[in-house]
Amino acid sequence: MNAMIYHVTPNAKAKNTGKKWSRATTLRQALNHAVAGDEIWVAMGTYPTSTSNNPLATFTVPAGVKVYGGFRGKEKSLQQRPVDGRSTLSGELGEAHNHDDNAHTVMTLEAAGDLSSVVDGFNLIGGNSKNYQDGLSPKSAGGGMIVLSNGDYTTQHQIINCTFEDNKAHNGGAVLIRGGRPLFSNCKFVTNTADFNGGGVYNDGEGKLSNPVFEQCEFIDNASSTGAGLTNNSVNGETTPMLIGCQFIDNVSLINGAAIFNIRKDSGKGEPVIENCKFIGNESIIGDDIFDQGDGAHLNYLEETTGQQGGTLRPVAAKRR
């Protein structure tokens, strides 16, 4: 069976097939019908997670489906899409500018077998997993996106040219990563907040492998108790994230690791690799930029990484400002 391309516009009717722009369907319908190998082309505009103010609604991307945003609505090929085109996925529900009634998670990436998805060209805003009152369950994390992995944690989702802004959660204000090796390329994490860990991203490797790659990403003005930009949790698991050409700017943690916080306990392991990154204006009580906690903590700095250094880091070939 040939792969399908579904076309989506903000004011489309759900009954439409989505097979061409003139018969565009809703994003919800396209996601409900798409299977591995299919593509979904989303025109510029704003798409709320729910039209009935349901905070549990999320845009669920089936494993292996590719979702592209930022179309004008006339393109016949992916290459015709504007380079800087973006579509907005919004968790803003109910009363405007009131986060208390917003969607818990804007988008969720499913996983199955070796199938990986692509999400390219979106703004994800206004998710608030803090609304879910169930302690520290996954449902209280990842206001902007939850990235899932398969059973052996080899899933390699790709999140490209996306901005996560003004999302909230207990952990992972913008993104919760639950294993695998997802790629975040040219993404921005801006003004997201978490009550506990990872205002921008919470990389959860507890009891699993969770080794994301961040290329040319920016973490700006995020806030949390620890690891305002990125928190890596490798308790009884492994987190070996790679950060290449990233910037951490003006992130604030109430306790430690304003940019990055690494947790290793109970046989956990992992060596985050940081290459050609910049750390500017990040603030916390302990370890302004990066803080490692736990036995066997180790961090690899590669060439041209600059910034403040704190905590119990053991940098390798670091160039400090």
Give domain status of residue 31, yes or no. Answer: no
pTM: 0.91
- pLDDT tens sequence for the chain (321 residues): 689 999 999 999 999 999 999 999 999 999 999 999 999 999 999 999 998 889 899 999 999 999 999 999 999 999 999 999 999 999 998 777 777 789 999 999 999 888 999 999 999 999 998 755 554 455 689 999 999 998 888 899 999 999 999 999 999 999 999 999 999 999 999 999 999 999 999 999 888 899 999 999 999 999 999 999 999 998 888 899 999 999 999 999 999 889 999 887 767 787 789 999 999 999 998 767 888 776 544 556 555 566 654 433 333 322 222
Q: Is the dihedral of CA 71, 73, 79, 82 positive or negative?
A: negative
Give domain status of residue 208, yes or no. Answer: yes
Give domain status of residue 43, yes or no. Answer: yes
Residue 1, CB half-sphere, CA atoms under 13 Å: how many?
Answer: 8
Q: Report the side by side order of strands in the sheet with 107-109.
A: 59-61, 107-109, 145-148, 175-178, 201-204, 230-233, 260-263, 290-293
Question: What pLDDT was estimated at residue 157?
Answer: 98
Give domain status of residue 11, yes or no. Answer: no
Count of domains for the chain: 1
Give domain status of residue 3, yes or no. Answer: no
- What lies within 8 Å, CB to CB, of 20 at 6+ separation is 7
Each residue of 168-202: b (16+ CB within 10 Å) or e?
bbbbbbbbbbbbbbbbbbbbbbbbbbbbbbbbbbb
Q: Output DSSP code: residue 28.
A: H
Give domain status of residue 27, yes or no. Answer: no
Give domain status of residue 203, yes or no. Answer: yes
Quote the domain boundaries for residue 212: 37-301
Give domain status of residue 315, yes or no. Answer: no
